[in-house]
Structure 1
Amino acid sequence: MLHGNFRRSILIASLAIMGTVGLGSISAQEKPPIRIGFGMAETGPMAANGKAAKLAMEIWREDTNAKGGLLGRKVEFVTYDDQTNPSLVPGIYTKLIESDKVDLVVSGYGTNLIAPAMPTIMQRNLTFVSLFGTAVNQKFNYPRYFQVMPNGEDPAVGLTYGFFEAAMQAQPKPLTVALVGGDAEYPALALEGARINAKKMGLKIVYDKTYPPNTTDYAPVIRAIQATNPDIVFVASYPPDTVGMIRAANEVGLKTKVFGGGMIGLGFAAVKKQLGPLLNGVLGFELYVPEPTIKFPGVEGFLKKYQGRAEKEGVDPLGFYLPPYGYAMMEVLGTAIEKVGSLDQGKMAEYMHKNTFKTVVGDITFADNGEWKVGRPLYVQYKGVTGNDIDQFRKPGKAPIMFPKDLKSGELRTPYEEARKQ
């Protein structure tokens, strides 16, 4: 009899366990993952940045899921390689929305790969958080667009203002400026902002020209600038010509108080390695540097994770330029979902417009046009760079911040011909 009772107890316990497992399965089915879709450049000219951004976003997804996901649901990504080809972008986002049935979408990297997605997003009234699009919403004026890049409400002016604010620290006070950039989309926008800021600062523009995108010899450009004897030289450039212009300035022996500008690429480990001590004296544009004045909560922990995986993933080993902002983009989206308590696109957009977000790149508050209300591009002056080892940039002192004032960590050294000898 006792034996029969024992068997009956085992059977009841087994049924109870099975029932619990069954309920757990039902619960899991009731809470499917939140699926977030995006295109990203994994091949083509922007692949290096696209892969770095995607790794940063993956780290956010892993961190989020380790904490229980969003709304009690795990997060999954559905992604496609846009091949750095704008013509593929509309099809990718149509597929994500109509075939893959993702819950949310975010952008890929860069203006040229964000703008083509906008009509598809707008037709469906989706909330769209984007990564490093320059003034994309000026054309669309879409109220559910949000941009993660610290250029401020007026991107062209905000991007370049810090350079001029820092350059005007030179003594005696600068009076003239030369403006130069590639004949391409980004330089055109940056030069437009530079003209506005030069006028605000009371500077006389003595040179204002562009060079063809296929330029390989920049020495004639530097010599033409030198002939006007400017106090400040502002350059708007993409990575290849950033390298070319800095090399030419050193070869020609450019004489000016301040040399630099909105030179894209200075934040890349590959460009730092390539230029090494030729960076010294340049007043350049960065998005993160390990200076003691930058204490954004979580950024150091994120970079430690990123850098620990970067070499294996074959991406930028420093991760100063784009990765923290890729992580922050997803922080903004995740916070909005949690605070709203649903995936309601309209409510998320409304929340984003009304609230400040705590992220690894600091506080973000969005203006009506989806840009940052307060911009925070960094302008640094490279100092004491020796050799071509990128590990030196992991420590403070190689790129002290000149702007913004609340993050300033060094004093501007002028003239450029003296500053570059460090």
Structure 2
Amino acid sequence: MDKKAAGLTRRQLLGTAATAGIAAAGSAQSPARAAEPIRIGFAMSLTGPGAGAGKMMLVGREIWKDEINAKGGLLGRPVQFVYYDDQSNPGNVPGLYAKLIDLDRVDLLCSSFGTNQIAPAMPIVMAKNMVYMGLFGTGVNDTFRYDRYFQILPNGPEGNRSLSLGFFEAARTINPVPRTVALAGEDTEFGQNVLAGARANVARLGLQVVYDRNFPASTVDHTPVVRAIQSARPDLVFVASYPVGSVGMVRAINETGFTPQIFGGAMIGLSFTAIKAQLGPLLNGIVINENYVPEPSMKFPGIDVFLEQYQSRAKAAGTDPLGFWSPFAYAELQILGQAVTAVGAIDQARIADYMHRTSFRTIVGDVKFGPDGEWEKSRILFVQYRDIRGDDVGQFRQPGKAVILYPPALKTGDLIHPFTRARTQ
């Protein structure tokens, strides 16, 4: 369904859905196309500050849909998407999922992008006992404990700790070992969840916290935040932020000339190509979490072919030209599709049971879920940006621009420190 459907009336929605169903079912000769579609519903941030990620993830999902339909669909039925623009507003999410379930009567559910957009739908989904595939959530199921929730971001059993663990493990390689840390995060569900995990990692490592504050997501000028951190004189600075805050903090640390031993964190947005091109060399030396980078250790079967397809569609879709997060949107549907095929029916209980006990082969590697729906083993990458020159996005297709520091199994280089030295590498 076209994203414009978000503003239609009930009668218009029913008419649009009926028309789409007729078009999908009546225009081809194969049994799969003649059957009633399997409808996968979701919200996605297609406008607002989350649109950069949302559009990228939508393309990843559409590549899977087109491929599966070219092979005859699922269970001999074509796959159809029903989705709405949540406008990057968590407040819109519950109503959209109620509409997807009660009005559109979708067969399967996926989430919008990110913690802030995933969590608001949980009570709605749980009330209907549906499987819910989460797209890049952190700590969402810590409170709900819903046994039909599954999440494709490789946080693992560490949960909230995973998005800071690699940062602090990399810091431990410095000699002498850093002793003080500043923690700064946006005052959102994501920022609060990530900083809660960071505090646990800091306590385990025995670091002294000299600054620990949230800043409003609406902050425009981040210079006062950085100056307050600078006055505390930390060895390490860890930031948890969404794109606007991430860009603001990077610019502020460069403008103030603040040079801790390590600067970085869970800074969503810095991995988006438009932001990389915007910031260019200002990224050098920063240590952040990533999910895919074109390093030699990340050559999973099918990943290169997928990225070629994504990048061929990106310009027309008006989205990120590299799309290094989009493989996870494709992979989550690989998993859901494999589960439906194995079960042989749209049976929410049986699909969830199968997903809990099965290891899935995907383009982002093998995925096995633990009891809480997170990956059984964490695989969050922490990388250090290096040798970034100018604003040419083509350079980010090359290995060596985002060197993997953690986890050890995928490591492609050692940490360069302090931050002043790392910025010149």
1:244 has 2:248 as partner: yes
1:187 has 2:177 as partner: no
How far apart, in 2, do the equivalents of 1:70 and 1:277 lie?
46
CA contact (8 A) 2:155 2:163 kept: yes
Q: Write the deviation string for residues 198-252 of structure 1: whole angstroms up to 9, x where unpaired.
A: 1212212222223333333333333332333322111122212211222222222
Residue 355 of structure 2 is matched in structure 1 by: 352
Decide which of 364, 388, 391 is 2:394's aligned counterpart. Answer: 391
Residue 337 of structure 1 is matched in structure 2 by: 340
Q: Which runs of 4+ in 1 moved over 6 A?
A: none
CA contact (8 A) 2:33 2:77 kept: no
Residue 325 of structure 1 is matched in structure 2 by: 328
CA contact (8 A) 1:266 1:286 kept: no
Cα deviation for residue 26 of structure 1 reads 10
Cα deviation for residue 28 of structure 1 reads 5.8
Q: Structure 1 residues 42 and 249, CA, compared in 2 at 3 Å: closer, same or farther?
A: closer
Decide which of 192, 211, 219 is 1:215's aligned counterpart. Answer: 219
Decide which of 376, 389, 392 is 2:379's aligned counterpart. Answer: 376
Cα deviation for residue 85 of structure 1 reads 3.3
Residue 9 of structure 1 is matched in structure 2 by: none
Decide which of 406, 410, 414 is 1:411's aligned counterpart. Answer: 414
How far apart, in 2, do the equivalents of 1:265 and 1:299 lie?
21
Q: Which runs of 5+ in 1 are unaligned?
A: 1-23
CA contact (8 A) 2:138 2:194 kept: no
How far apart, in 1, do the equivalents of 2:379 and 2:144 lie?
24
Residue 279 of structure 1 is matched in structure 2 by: 283
1:226 has 2:267 as partner: no
CA contact (8 A) 2:116 2:190 kept: no
Decide which of 37, 40, 44 is 1:40's aligned counterpart. Answer: 44
Q: Give the SS at the match of 1:153.
A: helix
Q: Structure 1 residues 187 and 137, CA, compared in 2 at 3 Å: closer, same or farther?
A: same
Cα deviation for residue 281 of structure 1 reads 0.8
How far apart, in 1, do the equivalents of 2:260 and 2:323 lie?
32
Decide which of 241, 260, 265 is 2:269's aligned counterpart. Answer: 265
How far apart, in 1, do the equivalents of 2:133 and 2:297 lie?
28
Residue 205 of structure 1 is matched in structure 2 by: 209
CA contact (8 A) 2:163 2:197 kept: yes
Cα deviation for residue 144 of structure 1 reads 0.8
Q: Structure 1 residues 246 and 90, CA, compared in 2 at 3 Å: closer, same or farther?
A: closer
How far apart, in 1, do the equivalents of 2:176 and 2:299 lie?
33
How far apart, in 2, do the equivalents of 1:412 and 1:127 lie?
40
Per the normalisation by structure 2, the TM-score is 0.88
Residue 95 of structure 1 is matched in structure 2 by: 99
1:138 has 2:146 as partner: no
Cα deviation for residue 30 of structure 1 reads 7.3
CA contact (8 A) 2:382 2:404 kept: yes
How far apart, in 1, do the equivalents of 2:256 and 2:286 lie?
15
CA contact (8 A) 1:378 1:401 kept: yes
CA contact (8 A) 2:386 2:402 kept: yes
Q: Which runs of 5+ in 2 are unaligned?
A: 1-27
CA contact (8 A) 1:254 1:417 kept: no
Residue 68 of structure 2 is matched in structure 1 by: 64
Q: Write the deviation string for residues 162-204 of structure 1: whole angstroms up to 9, x where unpaired.
A: 1111121122222221222233322222111111111212212
One-letter code aligned to 1:115: A
CA contact (8 A) 2:263 2:286 kept: yes
One-letter code aligned to 1:124: K
One-letter code aligned to 1:57: R
CA contact (8 A) 1:253 1:417 kept: no
Q: Please tell me the root mean square deviation across aligned C-alpha atoms, in Å.
A: 2.0
1:110 has 2:114 as partner: yes
Per the normalisation by structure 1, the TM-score is 0.89
Cα deviation for residue 403 of structure 1 reads 0.7
One-letter code aligned to 1:98: D
CA contact (8 A) 2:43 2:93 kept: yes
Q: Structure 1 residues 251 and 331, CA, compared in 2 at 3 Å: closer, same or farther?
A: same
How far apart, in 2, do the equivalents of 1:25 and 1:301 lie?
29
Q: Structure 1 residues 197 and 127, CA, compared in 2 at 3 Å: closer, same or farther?
A: same
CA contact (8 A) 1:267 1:287 kept: no
